[in-house]
Structure formats: C-alpha cells, structure tokens
C-alpha cells in the first residue's frame, strides 16, 4: 500500500507536533524547511488538518498551527483513512480487461488493504513519539 504525498505530509506534521509540548505553535515555513516539503502543498495539508479539527491555525507574525488536545489519541487508521482519497489498491471498474470475469486480484488486494488498516488501528498518534520504542516492541513482540 502506498500512501499519497498528501497523507505522508499530514502524518509527518502530526507526528512532529505530537513530539512538541502541548500548545506549541509551529510555523508552516519552519515545517516546510525542516521536512524539505513544498510549502504550497503543506498549506493545503495544514488547511485539511484544520478543517478536520486536528490542529488549529492562525495567520500573521505569530501564526502557525497548534495540535488539538484530542489529536494525540487518534488511531493511525482513522488519520490515514481520512487523509487518503481512496483506500482501494486498484480500480477495475471501467476497464476492458480480458481476465475480469475470472480475476480475484481485486478481492485479494482488498483483504490486504483491510489488514493494513487493522494494523494501523492498533496504534495511536501518541505511540509514535520520538524515542518511544513501544511500537517497535509491539510489532516484534519484544519485552
């Protein structure tokens, strides 16, 4: 499963903000430079995160974005599913395919996509804090 750049930017911003003290305001210029992101694209991502209520934003000299208090507890599955336009790995509709009537690939990829979402649902954004090895320990069953 490959995530769009939009979702990638959104996750990076949220993870970075989760590692800051609660209430910290971070400018988009800083984030664009820090992550080597396209600023125009980052504005769109920030606008969407704000529309979803995951961050609050303000303009001006002291502008930037602040992580909403409840965002830290969101599941990664909820975040990814909201930011991705579609979670369908392939779209066979409208394609003149000679094996369409006997191909089971779309069903298998659908199961794989659901498994991907199920794994993401096990983790909250807060689980991805820097230096927090709980995710790695959980994935590899380490003590």
Confidence of residue 104 (pLDDT cuts 50, 70, 90): confident
CA angle (24 as vertex; 26, 131 as ends), nearest 5:
95
pLDDT at 67: 93
Most confident option among 9-13, 56-60, 138-142: 9-13
pLDDT at 38: 92
Model's pTM, two decimal places?
0.80
Phi then psi dihedrals of residue 78, to 5 deg: -65, -40
* 78 Cα distance to chain centroid: 8
Of the candidate ranges 7-16, 37-46, 81-90, 126-135, the one whose mean pLDDT is the lowest: 126-135
Query: Residue 68 is encoded by which pair of tokens?
Result: 């909403």
User: How far is residue 125's CA from residue 116's CA, in Å, rounded to a whole number?
Assistant: 16
Torsion region of 32: left, alpha or beta (phi above 0 gives left; psi -120 to 50 gives alpha): alpha
Query: Residue 123 is encoded by which pair of tokens?
Result: 């983790």
pLDDT digits (tens, 9 = 90+) for 54-102: 999 888 777 889 999 899 999 999 999 999 887 776 777 777 778 877 8
- Judged against a pLDDT cut of 70, whether residue 140 lies above it is answered with no
Average pLDDT of the residues of the chain: 84
Element (H, E) at 6: helix 5-18
**DSSP SS3 for 111:** helix
Range 1-30 average pLDDT: 89
pLDDT at 33: 92
pLDDT at 22: 87
The string over 86-111, giving b where at least 16 C-beta atoms fall within 10 Å of a residue's C-beta and e elsewhere, is: eeeeeeeeeeeeeeeeeeeeeeeeee
pLDDT at 63: 81
Edge-to-edge strand ranges of the sheet holding 25-26:
25-26, 64-67, 55-58
CATH classification (class only), 5-139: mainly alpha
pLDDT digits (tens, 9 = 90+) for 123-138: 899 888 755 555 555 6
95, 103, 85, 7 alpha-carbon torsion, rounded to 10°: -130
User: How far is residue 70's CA from residue 72's CA, in Å, rounded to a whole number?
Assistant: 6
């Amino acid at each position: 499963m490959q995530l769009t750049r939009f979702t990638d930017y959104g996750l990076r911003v949220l993870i970075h903000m989760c590692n800051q003290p609660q209430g910290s305001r971070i400018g988009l210029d800083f984030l664009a430079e820090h992550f080597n992101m396209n600023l125009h694209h980052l504005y769109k991502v920030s606008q969407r995160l704000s529309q979803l209520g995951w961050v609050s934003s303000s303009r001006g000299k002291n502008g930037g974005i602040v992580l909403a208090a409840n965002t830290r507890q969101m599941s990664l599955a909820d975040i990814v599913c909201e930011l991705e336009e579609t979670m369908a790995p392939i779209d066979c509709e409208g394609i003149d395919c000679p094996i369409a009537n006997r191909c089971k690939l779309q069903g298998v990829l659908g199961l794989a996509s659901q498994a991907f979402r199920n794994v993401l649902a096990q983790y909250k954004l807060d689980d991805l804090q820097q230096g927090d090895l709980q995710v790695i320990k959980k994935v590899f069953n380490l003590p």
